[in-house]
Structure 1
Amino acid sequence: MFYCLCQPVTAIAASADEQRIGSDEDDPSDVSQPETDVIVVYGRALEQIGIAVSGSQGTVGYADFETLPISRTGELVENVPGVIATQHSGTGKANQYFLRGFNLDHGTDFAGFVDGVPINMRTHGHGQGYLDFNFVIPETIERIDYRKGPYFADVGDFSGAGTVAFKTYDTLRPFAQVTLGEFGYYRGTAAGSTPLAEGNLLLAFDGTFSNGPWVRDENLEKYNALLKYNRDLGDDRFSVQLNGYHARWDSTDQIPERAVESGLIDRFGFIDDDLGGETTRFGLVANGSLGGAEFNAFATYYDLVLTSNFTYFLDDPVDGDEFQQQDRRYVFGGSASKTFTVTAAPLPMKLTIGGDLRYDAIENVGLFESVGAVPTNTIRRDQVDEFSGALYLEGEFDLTERFRAYLGVRGDLMSYDVNADLSANSGSGSDTLLSPKAALAWRPVDSLELYANYGESFHSNDVRGATISIDPASGDPADRVPVFVRARGAELGARFERPNFTASLVGFYLGLDSELVFVGDAGTTEPNDATRRYGVEATAFWRPATWLTLDAAYAYTDAEFRDVAPGLTEIPGAVADVLSAGISAAPMRGLDLTMRLRHFGEAPLIEDGSVTSDPTTLVNLGAFYSLGSLRAGIEVFNLFDANDADITYFYESQLASENTPVADRHFHPVEPRQFRFSLRYRF
């Protein structure tokens, strides 16, 4: 269970009777409210000193990103300082994430939660830890809690680099919005809550359609829905929700540079015109507190069909290298925790005991050769049952009025049963892992707190790799992988807080054991060496005036393989520099302006560092004007029309006109400058 170590984001009203949750109804630009009614509190400005246990954790509230131009849902995670979300395929596919020198693929070391539900998919058809936030409706998110590093006992799998948790609103002022944009972009959203049976019922619906700037239209159709009921019961509370999501799309994947440079295809062109996907997700979620204990329970149905082709005609010069991945499963689980405050002991302390359970019933996870997006040959097809359970204990001690200590330990058990189409790759087993955590927080003066952290965590491997004996594609013997890959991290940090100004500075180290991983795109295992990463992160948030907000975040990471041959230490995809900055202003009543800068530097693409990606810099702009209950907005993405890449890889591929494979950079371009116009009415 992910619980927030930070204060919730609220809007502080002029009197206690008027205090409300910080939602759309608290918009200070609403001219229907007196100017003195509400002061918007930005999540990044909330006090963390005396509450946080590391310098790299925090909260982002809706007020922080309400007017932030977001072109796709996954970019919500970029509200976490130092995180980059890119895309190398269609909109309906999970984003590619980068954090602390990790190319996290689709979530291998980055844990994500929505209302307490773990979103990363284990033993997934496309990639381990597959983290798809596309089912989220951005306007329903009340806050984003983030924590970096393996320092917290209540999270385990995939949490080595960081953890992000979305919390949806319990109450929301009703609104309806339409958005129109270039390249056939249409979006309609409606959401709101109403009192019901001494509680509140929230409904939200969203539909998005887009062709994108691609030569081959994306034909995106995306539908989202959320139904949530919550009720307070004195000191207790509960909520239950049903969420649903369905999308289908045609995709333009990464393309070889040589095909563009030769004029064979356009920069937004394609090689294979059969690529795309379809996905469905339904979730039932319950959250609440009872007698001081927090609990969460969930049930999820998930289905994905994804057709890709990265090497074109390298393996099959006649029909091509197209392949299809399938994943259909049910996921059940929950968590519970209780915190005890102990004052009679020699040292005042808060003691938390908790645990979580999860069961993935994977009916079909498969890899197929395909032609025209129709499977023609099964490479591997499995049924998998995967169960995990964990218990954790953590204590926070007040050593003095200004000196706190945190100690935690987490024990994880994972068991699995793989029923493979090739009996030699079937099997079952289990494994356990113990992960200690420790932290110190010292406040030398009221406005400054210093932190020291150490922790261990892990990501699980695809359990098909734990039972494999034979490579299903080649028939060669295959190496098995361990179930757990341990991560060890340490961090020194400082946090400075003054009225209207906060800043943090941290230095970190993170090491991972030998990373034998199961590669879903190939159906077999691929060994990677042990790694180490160290770096520095700095953030700042400043409100020099009530109408002006500035923020910036910079992260630098040095990432290398350990114990490898000299000259082969570079980690492909490890971005060294990440910079984000923004300015938000309300220069006149009803007008909100936002400009955001997003930059990530070059990264090595092969181990000797001889080939690198190019830096990418984007600037987005948003302008919104409110008049009574009506708000009009314009968003400009890629303001300066940069011709950069969203993501770049280096590998061998072969075009239909080529007789031999060619090692080349393959890239997915950022989308060109585009405008979107929106109109929102609040009831």
Structure 2
Amino acid sequence: MSMLRPLPCALAALFVHASAQADDFVIQRVLIEGARASQLGIAESASAGSVSQKDLALRAMYSPGELLEAAPGVIVSQHSGQGKANQFYLRGFNLDHGTDLATWIDGMPVNQRSHAHGQGWTDLNFLFPELTARLDYAKGPYSARQGDFASAGSATITYANRLVQNVATVGIGQDGFVRTALAGSPELAGGSLLYALEVLHNDGPFTRPDDYRKFNGVLRYSRGYANNGWSVTAMAYRGSWNSTDQIPQRAVDTGLLDHFDALDPTDGGMAGRYSLSGIWRRTTADSASKVSAYLIRNQLDLYSNFTYFLEDPVGGDQFSQPDRRVTTGADASHTWHMHRGDQMASDLTVGAQLQSDNVFNGLYDTRARRRLATTREDHVVESSLGLFVENATRWSEVLRTVAGVRADSYRFKVASDRPENSGRSSARLVSPSLSVIFGPWAQTEFYANVGNGFHSNDARGTVATVDPKSGEAIRQTPGLVRSHGLEFGVRTEAIPKNQTTFSLYRLDFDSELTFVGDAGTTEAGAPSRRYGIEFSNYYKPLKWLSVDFDAAFARARWRGDAPEGSYIPGAVEGVAQFALTIDRLGPWSGALRLRYFGPRPLVEDNSVRSKASVTLGGRVGYRIAKDVRLELEGFNLANRRDASVSYYYASRMQDESVAHEDVHFHPIEPRTFRLTLVKNW
């Protein structure tokens, strides 16, 4: 790797991870002992960054999906059983279960296209925290490398090939929580064999226990290094659970239901994920190549009832959404490093991303998980090819650019139980992007970003002509929906021991068309626009103490004239996190984190709004011996009775003669503690 100026080895080591970035240039900077690696000279926008394994390990997480909250501005919640995919919020979006937040783990996409329950379904329950080496995040459609679902943001989680130490953990907690995990990476045949096993059980605080049971395993063989080597990885996950879905506020207010009760005690599900993947990398002074491939089998059986007895006053409204799929794909990229004198250098990257999903899913009326009637059954084959070219150039010591263009082609094939909803379609889109970075001046960089992105719609909506429930004619929807992003930001380390970022952005969507799995049809939304402000600050005044504060505000509106109102239901407006982290204070370590999840409009005219949710949680660790430590995690330490999610719609309980429009919510967990013993060797 060629650099503009020589750097000390200790500083260069901080940027080993930069080989995955388009920008290959590193500048001189002031080191903060024990602090986060600087992103000056590396990041392409103020809203992009990286979180190390050390920072991730100090976070208290009720579920694995909450790891994504390490990215500033991201909120992760839940509106059903623990085994179900989380709900995500970012940049004025209620991202449902993952639409417009592209998530990758070890080179494999987590978002599931044309899913039975929700487009972009992102189930992170197979995530293994002990193996997570790094979380890289970015926001906005400003990189040609990012494709489907990445308009609001993207998160890339990387597992380690080798562990510094083997680890075994045993944890117990309230509400029937038990977790044990074992991971190690012995040397084998000139390489490293990484293994990890996890078994978990949790009932949760609900009247009918979740009885969540998880079995999780990872096996990887690797040779070489992260930038020059290869690995083959097998993963297996299986979970089963009962669900306490959201309940109506009127039932709690009248005392009919407790905060943690359910109206349909038979809701729940089962999920499984099994994968085989491989990654090969080669890096020289003049080039870098990467090839990866994956084979993933996902399965889901989901039983839900959100309206209780609205449609069927006798048997109830429970429905099931099975989804079986095999996803195959391959990614390849090659970068040429070019240098022109002492002042100018450039990287040119070309890449291809191929993915195919073979999906069998459906929607059925059920009672106590017994199938009664079929709303729809479909076999979907969805394939895509994305090609991109990106150039990163440093023009001088204070100016660099990243310019790219991406072309995506999608093909959809649907075989439905109704011939009028079967067919083929295709869609193509070209997405240019440009980032201009000025600086550094006085350890400060300025960013200007513009680009187009997209998300795919459910394949069934692109060919369907009849509503599967009502039989009425419906309009087909486009396969790809374009987004337009614009952002200005600043990143500074001018204040000693402090890192600060600030960004202003705008994001437009041509339409927010989505497939509503609960209804089996496509719901058309108007064009939308979001403005936002984001602020992130990291301060390390002492070797053993760091302070984080992140805050974001967004304004989300439908564009055009909407008689019902211009507010986008569920769009997050204000979020914030404040954290104190202690490390290497003798045998002690720990973190305390305050999270604010602001109120949101629940209807288009803003006449009904959710309440804010404020949670306080943390972790305390004590090293008993050199290789043994004890950790105590606490969640909702203030024991607030807030909601994890809130919706506004019509429902009817069994003893009600008419339907009622009401707020329906899922509660956060009460004050909960977990104790874990960790052994390293």
TM-score normalised by structure 2 residue count: 0.93
Report the equivalent of 1:3: none
Structure 1 position 492 matched with structure 2 position 488:
yes
Structure 1 position 160 matched with structure 2 position 146:
no
**Is the 1:503–1:541 Cα contact (8 Å) retained in structure 2?**
yes
1:229 offset after TM fit, Å? 1.2
Distance 1:665 1:486 in 2: 32
Distance 1:622 1:53 in 2: 33
Report the equivalent of 1:672: 670
1:13 offset after TM fit, Å? 7.8
Distance 1:530 1:675 in 2: 44
1:129 offset after TM fit, Å? 0.3
| Aligned with 1:630 (options 614, 628, 636) | 628
Distance 1:584 1:386 in 2: 45
Report the equivalent of 1:8: none
Report the equivalent of 2:512: 515
One-letter amino acid of the structure 1 residue matched with residue 575 of structure 2: V
1:636 offset after TM fit, Å? 1.0
Q: 1:14 to 1:660 in 2, by over 3 A?
A: closer
Aligned-residue RMSD, C-alpha: 1.9
Distance 1:354 1:650 in 2: 44
**Is the 1:481–1:517 Cα contact (8 Å) retained in structure 2?**
no
Distance 1:290 1:20 in 2: 17
Distance 2:482 2:467 in 1: 25
| Aligned with 2:62 (options 52, 64, 71) | 71
1:295 offset after TM fit, Å? 1.1
In structure 1, the residue corresponding to 2:469 is in which secondary structure?
coil
Structure 1 position 314 matched with structure 2 position 305:
no
Q: 1:423 to 1:596 in 2, by over 3 A?
A: same
| Aligned with 1:135 (options 115, 126, 133) | 126
Q: 1:566 to 1:470 in 2, by over 3 A?
A: closer
Report the equivalent of 2:229: 237
CA shift digits 1:108-144 (9 cap, x unpaired): 1100000111110000011000011111111110000
One-letter amino acid of the structure 2 residue matched with residue 248 of structure 1: S
Matches within 5 A, 1:250-265: 250-265=242-257
| Aligned with 2:387 (options 386, 391, 402) | 391
1:41 offset after TM fit, Å? 4.7
Report the equivalent of 2:580: 583
| Aligned with 1:223 (options 198, 215, 219) | 215
Structure 1 position 416 matched with structure 2 position 412:
yes
Q: 1:64 to 1:234 in 2, by over 3 A?
A: closer
Aligned length: 651
Gaps of 5+ in 1: 1-11, 23-38
Distance 1:547 1:609 in 2: 45
Distance 1:316 1:90 in 2: 23
**Is the 1:13–1:20 Cα contact (8 Å) retained in structure 2?**
no
Q: 1:468 to 1:93 in 2, by over 3 A?
A: same
| Aligned with 2:457 (options 458, 461, 476) | 461
Report the equivalent of 1:565: 562
Structure 1 position 275 matched with structure 2 position 267:
yes
TM-score normalised by structure 1 residue count: 0.93
Distance 1:565 1:464 in 2: 27
Q: 1:95 to 1:234 in 2, by over 3 A?
A: closer
Distance 1:135 1:574 in 2: 28
One-letter amino acid of the structure 2 residue matched with residue 670 of structure 1: I
In structure 1, the residue corresponding to 2:439 is in which secondary structure?
strand
Report the equivalent of 1:648: 646
**Is the 2:34–2:543 Cα contact (8 Å) retained in structure 1?**
no
Report the equivalent of 1:26: none
**Is the 2:268–2:303 Cα contact (8 Å) retained in structure 1?**
yes
One-letter amino acid of the structure 1 residue matched with residue 335 of structure 2: T
Distance 1:14 1:82 in 2: 29
One-letter amino acid of the structure 1 residue matched with residue 158 of structure 2: K
Structure 1 position 543 matched with structure 2 position 540:
yes
Q: 1:340 to 1:328 in 2, by over 3 A?
A: same
CA shift digits 1:70-94 (9 cap, x unpaired): 1100100000000000000001011
Distance 2:64 2:167 in 1: 19
CA shift digits 1:288-338 (9 cap, x unpaired): 214631111000011000000000111111111100001001000010111
Matches within 5 A, 1:654-665: 654-665=652-663
**Is the 1:120–1:129 Cα contact (8 Å) retained in structure 2?**
yes
Report the equivalent of 1:31: none
Bigger shift: residues 343-352 or 279-288? 343-352
| Aligned with 2:321 (options 314, 318, 325) | 325
Structure 1 position 185 matched with structure 2 position 173:
no
| Aligned with 2:279 (options 278, 287, 292) | 287
One-letter amino acid of the structure 2 residue matched with residue 682 of structure 1: N
Distance 2:171 2:440 in 1: 50
Distance 2:412 2:511 in 1: 21
Bigger shift: residues 649-658 or 440-449? 440-449
In structure 1, the residue corresponding to 2:493 is in which secondary structure?
strand
1:593 offset after TM fit, Å? 2.3
1:344 offset after TM fit, Å? 4.8
Distance 1:500 1:440 in 2: 26
One-letter amino acid of the structure 2 residue matched with residue 112 of structure 1: T
Report the equivalent of 1:475: 471
One-letter amino acid of the structure 1 residue matched with residue 641 of structure 2: N
| Aligned with 1:214 (options 200, 206, 210) | 206
One-letter amino acid of the structure 1 residue matched with residue 458 of structure 2: D
Structure 1 position 597 matched with structure 2 position 598:
no
Q: Percent identity over the alignment?
A: 40
**Is the 2:234–2:277 Cα contact (8 Å) retained in structure 1?**
yes
**Is the 1:529–1:564 Cα contact (8 Å) retained in structure 2?**
no
